[in-house]
């Protein structure tokens, strides 16, 4: 059973919590040291100083363990929602920060590992979508809704479509190419999409026409 959404099955015992934290840290450490194909529950258990059965008390699979470890490491380090100010300026700054974080070895290997495992099991793919991808989309959607409210994006535009048009090229370039997205790429995608959904300016009639 995965503990995603159920952080520790027995949260009342400090020793169990310490052991669980050691397992999460060991999982990311092992992933950072090499390729995903070399990561095993045995190596993680050895690095954490526990037996394999201790890990299997919390997790059904290596994939579920890595998902939890990835979330524990990076949920706090992801760019936070920026309150107030100009929503499109904040959205661009959020994306700039995101592409600074993506190329880090653990972030890149973590993403690739999760997506690799997601190809083989629908239930796990749904968990990755809920706990990793949807969180990022929710951040982005907040900026888009604020921009619509301020009249910076046309009313009636689907905010989820705007989010997809901006995030999809960034994540595709990150996962499917050898050149990670940079701030210049973000600006190109962002400016193109925002120009397409900006309010239509009505030209004043020409005198004498």
Distance CA(153)–CA(198), nearest Å, equals 5
Distance CA(77)–CA(98), nearest Å, equals 10
Helix (H) or strand (E) holding 57: helix 52-58
Distance CA(71)–CA(113), nearest Å, equals 13
pLDDT tier, 148 (very low <50, low <70, confident <90, very high otherwise): very high
7-25 mean pLDDT? 71
Note the pLDDT tens digit of each residue in 112-139. Answer: 888 888 888 899 999 998 888 888 899 8
**With 70 as the cut, is the pLDDT of residue 207 above it?**
no
Half-sphere exposure (Cβ direction) of 144: Cα atoms closer than 13 Å: 25
Domains of the chain: 14-61 (1.10.10.60), 77-197 (1.10.357.10)
Q: What is the DSSP letter of 182?
A: -
Note the pLDDT tens digit of each residue in 28-71. Answer: 889 888 778 888 999 999 999 999 999 998 998 899 999 999 88
DSSP result, 126-142: HHHIIIIIHHHHHHHHH
pTM of the predicted model as reported, rounded to 2 decimal places: 0.78
């Amino acid at each position: 059973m995965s503990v995603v959404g159920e952080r520790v099955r027995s949260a009342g015992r400090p020793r169990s919590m310490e052991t669980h934290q050691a397992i999460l840290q060991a999982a990311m450490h092992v992933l950072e040291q090499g390729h995903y194909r070399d990561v095993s529950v045995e190596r993680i258990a050895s690095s954490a100083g526990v037996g394999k059965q201790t890990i299997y008390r919390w997790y059904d699979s290596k994939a579920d363990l890595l998902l939890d470890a990835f979330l524990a490491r990076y949920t706090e380090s992801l760019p936070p929602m920026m309150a107030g100010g100009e929503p499109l300026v904040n959205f661009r700054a959020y994306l700039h920060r995101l592409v600074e974080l993506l190329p880090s070895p653990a972030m890149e290997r973590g993403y690739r590992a999760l997506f690799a495992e997601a190809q083989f099991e629908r239930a796990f793919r749904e968990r990755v979508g809920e706990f990793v991808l949807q969180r990022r989309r929710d951040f982005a959607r907040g900026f888009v809704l604020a921009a619509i409210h301020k009249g910076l994006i046309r009313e009636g535009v689907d905010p989820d479509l705007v989010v997809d048009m901006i995030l999809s090229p960034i994540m595709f370039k990150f996962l499917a190419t050898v050149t990670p997205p940079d701030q210049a790429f973000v600006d190109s995608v962002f400016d193109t999409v925002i120009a397409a959904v900006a309010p239509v300016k009505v030209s004043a009639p020409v005198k004498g026409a």
